Chains A and B, each alone.
Chain A
Amino acid sequence: MELKSIRQLKINQKAIIKHIKARGELGRRIRDMGLLPGTEIQIVGRAPLKDPVALRLKGFTLTLRNNEADYILVEELDVPTDY
Chain B
Amino acid sequence: MSQQTIKVALAGNPNSGKTTLFNALTGAHQQVGNYPGITVEKKEGFLELNGYSLHFIDLPGTYSLTAYSQEELVARNFLVHERPDLVVDVINANSLERNLYLAIQILELGAPLILALNMMDEVRAQGININSSLLSKRLGVPVVETVARQGLGKKMLVQTILKTAQQSPQWKPLTISYGPDLDPAIQEMVAHIQEANFQTNTYPPRWLALKFLENDEEIKSIVLKENPALYKKIEQIHKTVSDHCEQTLNTYPEAIIADYRYGFISSLLKDVVKKNTHTERIAISDQIDKVLTHKVMGPIFMFLVLYGVYKLTFFLGEYPLHWLNAFFDFIALTIDRLLPAGLLKSLLISGVIGGVGGVISFVPLIAVMFLFLSFLEDSGYMARVAYMLDRIFRFFGLHGSSIMPFIISGGIAGGCAVPGVMAARTLRSPKEKLATILTVPFMTCGAKLPVFILLTGIFFPTQKAFVLFSISMLGWVVALFVAKFLRSTIIRGPATPFVMELPPYRLPTWQGLLIHSWEKTWMYLKKAGTVILGISIFIWFLMTFPTLPQHQALTYLKQIKQLELKIQQLSNKSKNTELLAKLKQKQKTLVQQLKREKLLHSFAGRLGKSLEKFTQLAGFDWKINIALLGGFAAKEVIISTLGTVYSLDTSNEGANLAAKIQKDPSWTKAKAIALMIFVLLYAPCMVTIVTIAKEESWLWAGFSLVFNTIVAFALSSLAYQLLS
The answer to whether B96 touches A47, judged by C-beta atoms less than 8 angstroms apart, is no
The answer to whether A54 touches B98, judged by C-beta atoms less than 8 angstroms apart, is no
Binary per-residue interface labels of chain A (58-74) against chain B in the complex, 1 for a CB within 8 Å, 0 otherwise: 11111111001000000
Q: Of the candidates B258, B295, B387, B500, which one forms a contact with A31 in the assembled complex, judged by CB atoms under 8 Å apart?
A: B258
Q: Which of B68, B295, B392, B500 has the most CB of A within 10 A?
A: B500
Q: Which residues of B contact A61 (CB under 8 A)?
A: 285, 501-504
Residue B262 lies at the interface, judged by CB distance under 8 Å to chain A? yes
Q: Which residues of A contact B254 (CB under 8 A)?
A: 23, 27-28, 31
How many Å from the CB of B251 to the closest CB on chain A? 9
Given A27-B255, A47-B388, check contact A62 B68 (CB 8 Å): no
Q: Which residues of A contact B294 (CB under 8 A)?
A: 48
Task: Report the bound CA distance from A30 to B497 in whole Å.
Answer: 9
The answer to whether A65 touches B390, judged by C-beta atoms less than 8 angstroms apart, is yes
Task: Report the bound CA distance from A62 to B92 in whole Å.
Answer: 15
Q: Which residues of A contact B95 (CB under 8 A)?
A: 58-60
Residue B508 lies at the interface, judged by CB distance under 8 Å to chain A? no
Given A52-B498, A58-B97, A59-B97, check contact A29 B387 (CB 8 Å): no
The answer to whether B388 touches A65, judged by C-beta atoms less than 8 angstroms apart, is no
Residue A79 lies at the interface, judged by CB distance under 8 Å to chain B? no
The answer to whether A25 touches B293, judged by C-beta atoms less than 8 angstroms apart, is no
Task: Report the bound CA distance from A37 to B260 in whole Å.
Answer: 12
The answer to whether B64 touches A32, judged by C-beta atoms less than 8 angstroms apart, is yes
Of all chain B residues, the one with the shortest Cβ separation from A25 is B68
Q: Which residues of A contact B603 (CB under 8 A)?
A: none
How many Å from the CB of A2 to the closest CB on chain B? 18
Residue A16 lies at the interface, judged by CB distance under 8 Å to chain B? no
**Within residues 245 to 261 of chain B, which ones have a CB less than 8 A from any CB in chain A?**
252, 254-255, 258-259
**Within residues 282 to 308 of chain B, which ones have a CB less than 8 A from any CB in chain A?**
282, 285-286, 289-290, 293-296, 298-299
Residue A9 lies at the interface, judged by CB distance under 8 Å to chain B? no
Q: Which residues of A contact B496 (CB under 8 A)?
A: 25
Q: Which of A26, A62, A63 has the most CB of B within 10 A?
A: A63
How many Å from the CB of B386 to the closest CB on chain A? 8
Q: Which residues of B contact A50 (CB under 8 A)?
A: 391
The answer to whether A33 touches B63, judged by C-beta atoms less than 8 angstroms apart, is yes
The answer to whether A68 touches B94, judged by C-beta atoms less than 8 angstroms apart, is no
Task: Report the bound CA distance from A26 to B289 in whole Å.
Answer: 26
Q: Of the candidates A23, A32, A37, A48, which one forms a contact with B101 in the assembled complex, judged by CB atoms under 8 Å apart?
A: A32
How many Å from the CB of A61 to the closest CB on chain B? 4
The answer to whether B259 touches A59, judged by C-beta atoms less than 8 angstroms apart, is no
Chain A binding surface, main DSSP class: mixed
Residue A49 lies at the interface, judged by CB distance under 8 Å to chain B? yes
Given A27-B254, A34-B98, A47-B293, check contact A64 B391 (CB 8 Å): no
Task: Report the bound CA distance from A58 to B285 in whole Å.
Answer: 16
Residue B609 lies at the interface, judged by CB distance under 8 Å to chain A? no
Interface residues on A, range: 20 to 34
The answer to whether B98 touches A48, judged by C-beta atoms less than 8 angstroms apart, is no
Given A45-B293, A59-B97, check contact A51 B500 (CB 8 Å): no
Q: Which of B68, B92, B252, B290 has the most CB of A within 10 A?
A: B68
How many Å from the CB of A10 to the closest CB on chain B? 15
Q: Which residues of A contact B259 (CB under 8 A)?
A: 36-37
Q: Which of B63, B96, B294, B296 has the most CB of A within 10 A?
A: B63
Residue B499 lies at the interface, judged by CB distance under 8 Å to chain A? yes
Q: Which residues of A contact B498 (CB under 8 A)?
A: 52, 63-65, 68
Q: Which residues of A contact B299 (CB under 8 A)?
A: 48
The answer to whether B97 touches A34, judged by C-beta atoms less than 8 angstroms apart, is yes
Q: Which residues of A contact B500 (CB under 8 A)?
A: 62-64
Residue B394 lies at the interface, judged by CB distance under 8 Å to chain A? yes
The answer to whether B391 touches A52, judged by C-beta atoms less than 8 angstroms apart, is yes
Task: Report the bound CA distance from A68 to B394 in whole Å.
Answer: 13
The answer to whether B258 touches A36, judged by C-beta atoms less than 8 angstroms apart, is yes
Q: Of the candidates A44, A47, A58, which one forms a contact with B286 in the assembled complex, judged by CB atoms under 8 Å apart?
A: A44
Task: Report the bound CA distance from A54 to B390 in whole Å.
Answer: 13
Residue B589 lies at the interface, judged by CB distance under 8 Å to chain A? no
The answer to whether B501 touches A60, judged by C-beta atoms less than 8 angstroms apart, is yes
Q: Which of A29, A44, A49 has the most CB of B within 10 A?
A: A29
Q: Which of B66, B392, B498, B499 has the most CB of A within 10 A?
A: B499
Other A-B pairs, 20, CB within 8 Å; known A54-B502, A60-B501 = A28-B64, A28-B68, A32-B64, A36-B259, A45-B289, A47-B391, A48-B299, A48-B388, A49-B388, A51-B391, A52-B390, A54-B289, A58-B97, A59-B95, A59-B96, A60-B95, A61-B504, A63-B387, A68-B497, A83-B282
27 A-B pairs (CB sep. < 8 Å): A23-B252, A25-B496, A26-B499, A27-B254, A27-B255, A28-B66, A28-B254, A29-B497, A36-B258, A37-B259, A45-B289, A47-B293, A48-B295, A48-B388, A49-B392, A50-B391, A51-B390, A52-B391, A54-B289, A58-B95, A59-B96, A59-B98, A60-B98, A61-B285, A65-B390, A65-B394, A83-B282
